[in-house]
Amino acid sequence: MSGAETKHPKHPEAIKARAEAVLARYKPLIADWDAFLDVLVRPKPTCIVANAARLDRDRLAGLLAGGPADLTPVPWDRAALRVPADARPGTWWAFLAGLYQVQEEASLLPTAMLDPQPGERVLDLCAAPGGKAARIAMAVGPEGTVIANEKEPRRLSAVRDKMKRLGLTNLTSTVHDGGDYPLEAGAFDRVLVDAPCTSEGTKFRQGAGYQGSEPEFLSWIAGQQAALLRRAAQLVKPGGRVVYATCSFAPEENEAVVDRVLAELDGGLQPVAVRPPGLQPAAPVASWGGRAFDPGVQAGLRLWPHTHRTGGFFAIAFDKPADAPPPAAPPSRHVDAWSGDPRQWIGPVLEKFDIAGDPLAGLRVIERGDDLQLVAAGHSAPAKPAPVSTGVPARRARNRTPKPSTALALMVGGGARARVVEVTAAQRDAYQRRQPIQPAPDQLAACQARAHLSDALRGAQDGGGDGMAGPAQGYVILRYRGVPLGVGFLRPGPPAEIESQFPRAWKL
């Protein structure tokens, strides 16, 4: 967020000249100023992070081997792979299949420092676009709860998209000012404050320059950031953890905010040095503008573009004393209009696909608008603020012909043994572009319809036939190399054709 953002020329020398003028106040903090300016003209590097609910980093790397870009592991994050700066991983087939999410490497840091554990209840106070909340949801697992809050309702669409594509049944989104988040939401084991900021550390590379952060704007945004950190301290349980982070260079938004809140809380939060193994961060700023900061600020860390090959970033972790008084307000739990066993409502949709195991174990179903949503059975959403979205859409509630959603197919389609079609790479790409595909007869082996008994008997009496009546019209799940891609509608022909049911909003 910025109060004064403008476009600047794309020419490298023009970008460097503008950076020299706009960011000159940081020269005392940067030993190699020329290297700092040089890196601002290069494309911003990024990472992909494996969806831990579906596969690990090695399996993801194997699926993408020989693809459009070379990938290298991030040494300090066991789920992340670095992607060349000129790559477009948000357009790759595996992204659309929900196997990973895209994040800038520096943005992996807050979640690593938060260190969420299975079964915990975690709040992301400023969640959009949702990458960190998604990563937390993977970490806490089906027995945990993640609340992804955002002040601006329009920004939640990106969060909802990740919920569906990645299959996050343990996540609820809410809309509220994070600085005044209701205490009635209950206490949380961990709270992330990835605060709105001037974004100087990331946006300069993307073609956005800054007229300069005026003192009035910096004072206003720092007040918002301090309010978020104070509220996080109130919402976290005794013994719990808070992480505060920004993608700004400005000490006014980083060390100064921490210094201010530490003084106000007087021991209510204790800075703790967290250093992910394999990462060598820079130290925070000790003083700025003639003001020396609390020594506890040095528990934090900084990443600089020219030394870490990431965006600019600041982060610090705090632990709440175990003997601190618990939050005063009693927790409230949202009760859905109705909630039931998904086997009754979703089971019939899946029967035709003969899914191995029990794909609906540990889930419940709720009705939200036109959708039946799958939600983790142990999920604990607050009553206040009211949830905006919860879980993953599985099917339309009132469709005459039950159809599994793409999100449901991505979640359970790997175990399908019937009405499943293994596609080629070319067919995969056509399907994700919402184009029809023409399967070969051997690809439809799992889509055969059982013949009527009289027909089967007649075939046997004639000395032939296997009791099958050829491929049957209807919905099928498409897979590539065992990975579910979504749902198609098979028309057996001849010639057979599968109409793509891939979501319009997701298509290539």
Could you give the CA distance from residue 261 to residue 503 in angstroms, rounded to a whole number? 45
Of 508, 341, 351, 349, nearest to 428 (Cα)? 508
Of 496, 383, 488, 485, nearest to 63 (Cα)? 485
> Distance from first CA to last CA of the chain, Å, rounded?
29
- Binding-site residues, in ranges, read 126-132, 150, 177, 194
Q: With beta carbons less than 8 A apart as the criterion, state whether 240 and 319 touch.
A: yes
Supply 157's token pair.
């669409």
Local structure of residue 330 (DSSP, 8 states): P
71's CB contacts (< 8 A; 6+ apart) are 48, 61, 64, 81, 82, 83
Could you give the CA distance from residue 209 to residue 201 in angstroms, rounded to a whole number? 11
247 labelled catalytic: yes
Q: How many alpha carbons lie under 13 Å from residue 275 in its C-beta half-sphere?
A: 11
- Binding-site residues for S-adenosyl-L-methionine, in ranges, read 126-132, 150, 177, 194
Supply 362's token pair.
């540990």
Q: With beta carbons less than 8 A apart as the criterion, state whether 105 and 74 touch.
A: yes
| Amino acid (1-letter code) at residue 164 | K
Rg over alpha carbons for the chain, rounded to the nearest Å, is 26
**Residue indicated by tokens 């490298």:** 12
Classified as helix, coil or strand, 133 is: helix
CB contact burial 208-233 (16+ within 10 A = b; e otherwise):
ebbebbeeebbeebbebbbbbbbbbb
Q: With beta carbons less than 8 A apart as the criterion, state whether 392 and 411 touch.
A: yes
Q: With beta carbons less than 8 A apart as the criterion, state whether 95 and 118 touch.
A: no
Q: With beta carbons less than 8 A apart as the criterion, state whether 395 and 346 touch.
A: yes
DSSP per residue, 436-496: -B---GGGGGGGEEEPPHHHHHHHHHTT---SEEEEPSEEEEEEETTEEEEEEEEE--SSP
**Which residues carry out catalysis?**
247
